[in-house]
Structure 1
């Protein structure tokens, strides 16, 4: 039993920078894509180089090879049909102005898109491999027009001009004369239509008046059906098909959790998708010939990036768990017990043995709402330990059961870590995700405080050493918590955080502003509310020391959001540390910068919590 009087524990062990670095240097991996011969699996990882690069795994040799060496990150990879050629996307120094490139069989890089200042969203390749499609804001930064490009001669054709709306291309119809397009109303809701390439007319196939999501579309082999994930008229996203002649929607499966990651094999015989069950994923295969649904799982973690090989016998995916670091895996679709790890990222069994599995910790918030968190505790905890909150961004995101280097590093140093999914988080249904919209913004901050107040009563927790850490919107949560509730947290760390919704909406990329206003509100209608809650107007109330970090090239949350907070606090000589990166944007992509930032975070906490002891 723990001492209910909560005698303070000793200060955590002296910081070992090499130990911290071990947790941070675990590689990330994403975007698996099979070549047409099924012997090669392309993917992107920052293993060995510290920067996301294009690699390939050879199933014949079991070896991985770096395909390209570029100065900037590779953001995705796709194979062209019946070809060794790939399409990739890259930006410059984290500015998110994605450009498209073709990588030929000799691994030579050919740029496809013309304007450095524009963003190009890849829309797929035609069945004959001669044309690709993309959406771009090169004409008007706030909106995306639609284009096709010929890969043989480089000709580019604008086929649809946006009229104050946001469009994406979701793929080519098998007939090669139509594109599946999406009009995006918010980050959560959209509609789908078929664009006739010849005349530019769109036949909308989902209701434009229905507040619903239609995602991960795949055409049937004959082009008569469209398989999608949707939450039309329901709480959770489920598998459905749309008859492209009648537009009738038929549900194929339904779960009490959101479905995601839908894909179809090249034969059109089977679908694969996942369900997100409170941040833990389950895989599913749907046999289209027999209408048979079977599930499979790897363990506690997430399953992303599903990709079939040519004959559909193998499904590649990324598995990422709290105690299983991110890696490429394969599933034999004929025998679901055959699941293999490809070891495309470097880790060891001894390292993974040090990692902690979280438990789900649920509290009843101020209004009776159940709010879940993942709670991590050190091994062999005998005295009350410092507590750190890790708050996700979004806000329509979710903390999941995944390997998170800072969380595992802090737990290894003797911290309890709480990763909450406050109201507004994804994964708990349509109602839950809207509970923090616009004027309900501070209810989510109140949830965070309620969790903190509840955990303070736990005998394991040292209530005098409590920190809150968050990135992007999570950074706003940090700044709001320490300014509106100054007596709750003893230290705060904000990474690329929003300090004012007014200035954020004024300065964020114009292609994002409209979509963000649906969630946060508008300056015209809600400006007075912003001024009431924005942390920048409450710096005089902050008592906790702060660490802030930002990338100079951030197009989402411009760096002024952090630097105006610094100015406000330094005017009253409040302790605030600042880590600025000239070669990063909204995320810290380069491994050397991650080590700088995250080691600095741990040092900051150790310093201030030692003082509190």
Structure 2
């Protein structure tokens, strides 16, 4: 095939977060047709979607208000993650609800009668999230629960008298409780010892039980039923992979969920009346954001695969056949150029088996330059989804390997904790073992190895080139951490405690941070480095990039720095994605070639 440029890969649009209209045949979703995520509406009788919102900032959330055609939408400013909530009317009028731009607002759903919404915010204390409800007619705001913790709303009870709320203890441990809105009494229902996570909870019809995904006393998430009065937990379905994305239909007799099998989704439907379980066929990829239609005949979901960029699909619940609803991501010029990965496993330095996705150019015959692509988190996972820069580099002749090193999610609790606190460099050693494995088992050029990652993946990049410098010919750090110490000192206050559960604290582990932080080992770096960062990053402040770049410039090391003044922790705007990806490709071509 003849070579093509970056633009077709970059201009692949995505559709996500489907929500059915309460009545009729319409479905709304978020799509970046215009280069900025906005709300679009699909009338399945007419074909092409219509744009519904016209805001200057990205739309990051859409939810219908119960019993109405109004939407709650969420937006921040230039990626600063201080989400504000708005009411989007049928005529596209936008009404500001939260009106507190310096604070975070996490949406918690609308009351059954559609008169109130719930959300959490750090308005009272920047380090904590409290619970509020708001009247949609008068816009009155009421504080209904506060405490020294991270509280958020999961959903309203069926009768609207209480809220199911969550207290996040760490990113991997939480509790659920029922807050009575009249008495303000809070009844915790998931008290536990050890680490346990409870997510995607739904009330049953009578409001006396909840269906939930949890890994309580287990390595993996399964499907359970919890009796709210007795707090007794009963398992419905379990397995040796994590269950994800639980959804319930309006008749409350069907549940939909997915199983994450090594980074690839399998969709499941459970009929609560018959206990029958159904699955359906999909390409290789990830299913998320499951939504039942109001008539209980359809299930919409977001599907994102390496060769199938994010679009909205729909499952017919009678025939159990899936069909693609939107073609936002369709690009005929790319149809034959998309590459799906091979799932590999390799032994690390201590014999631990590490999974990874390996992408190889089609019809490759010579030794290949290879780029290791590292996920963030670290409580996250590389999955089989579309990534424009990965696909473009493959088409240029690069092999790409995306490992799920120790500390990744998806492989059980034990695996996720193998890089905690002072075990941090063990995950970096996994990267070295991967290079050695690729050298023996794949046709790569050992003199042309690049490494690239974002957020915590950026920290891993910097740690790798500092502590194991001889392996890398080029490195790309995207919004990465250069010092865990300074990161904990400057990240958003409400995130700090959550991150300390993973990294440790300055008081206890500060000396260890100084021993491993890339910022203190820049003299060992021999590979050229490209750094990209958003000015408004609330998670990893741009200081992390600036201090690393300044130290390298002091010794005239080859380093390039690109600052985006109107982005945060992610590059959302098309113009910025274009700049970022072009510079990454140019940089890798200069130092790795083909």
Q: TM-score, normalised by structure 1?
A: 0.95
8 Å CA contact 1:38–1:310 kept in 2: the answer is no
- The residue number in structure 2 matching 1:155 is 140
Matches within 5 A, 1:62-77: 62-77=47-62
8 Å CA contact 2:280–2:322 kept in 1: the answer is no
Q: CA deviation at 1:27?
A: 1.4
Q: What CA deviation, in whole Å up to 9, does each residue of 1:199-257 have, x standing for no partner?
A: 22110111143420000001111212100000001110000111122111111101110
- The residue number in structure 1 matching 2:264 is 280
Counterpart check, 1:240 vs 2:224: yes
CA distance in 1, matches of 2:194, 2:164: 18
* Residue number among 475, 496, 511 corresponding to 1:492 in the alignment: 475
The secondary structure found in structure 2 opposite 1:63 is coil
- The residue number in structure 2 matching 1:545 is 528
CA distance in 2, matches of 1:271, 1:210: 28
The secondary structure found in structure 2 opposite 1:37 is coil
Cα gap change, 1:273 to 1:38, in 2 (>3 Å): farther
- The residue number in structure 2 matching 1:39 is 25
8 Å CA contact 1:470–1:494 kept in 2: the answer is yes
The secondary structure found in structure 1 opposite 2:487 is helix
- The residue number in structure 2 matching 1:301 is 285
- The residue number in structure 1 matching 2:446 is 463
8 Å CA contact 1:281–1:297 kept in 2: the answer is no
Q: What CA deviation, in whole Å up to 9, does each residue of 1:97-134 have, x standing for no partner?
A: 00000011211000110211000000111100000000
Of the structure 1 ranges 305-314 and 453-462, higher mean CA displacement relative to structure 2 is found in 453-462
8 Å CA contact 1:323–1:353 kept in 2: the answer is no
8 Å CA contact 1:64–1:344 kept in 2: the answer is no
The secondary structure found in structure 1 opposite 2:190 is coil
8 Å CA contact 2:132–2:145 kept in 1: the answer is yes
CA distance in 1, matches of 2:435, 2:444: 10
Q: TM-score, normalised by structure 2?
A: 0.98
- The residue number in structure 1 matching 2:569 is 586
* Residue number among 56, 80, 83 corresponding to 1:95 in the alignment: 80
Q: What CA deviation, in whole Å up to 9, does each residue of 1:172-220 have, x standing for no partner?
A: 0112111001111001110100001122211011114342000000111
**Number of corresponding residues:** 593
- The residue number in structure 2 matching 1:438 is 421
* Residue number among 212, 215, 219 corresponding to 1:231 in the alignment: 215
Structure 2: runs of 5+ lacking an equivalent: none
Cα gap change, 1:112 to 1:459, in 2 (>3 Å): closer
Structure 1: runs of 5+ lacking an equivalent: 1-12
CA distance in 2, matches of 1:208, 1:122: 26
8 Å CA contact 1:308–1:316 kept in 2: the answer is yes
- The residue number in structure 2 matching 1:206 is 190
Q: CA deviation at 1:73?
A: 0.5
8 Å CA contact 1:479–1:499 kept in 2: the answer is yes
Matches within 5 A, 1:466-481: 466-481=449-464
Counterpart check, 1:104 vs 2:89: yes
* Residue number among 139, 143, 146 corresponding to 2:124 in the alignment: 139
- The residue number in structure 2 matching 1:177 is 161
The secondary structure found in structure 2 opposite 1:602 is helix
Matches within 5 A, 1:351-362: 351-362=334-345
- The residue number in structure 1 matching 2:170 is 186
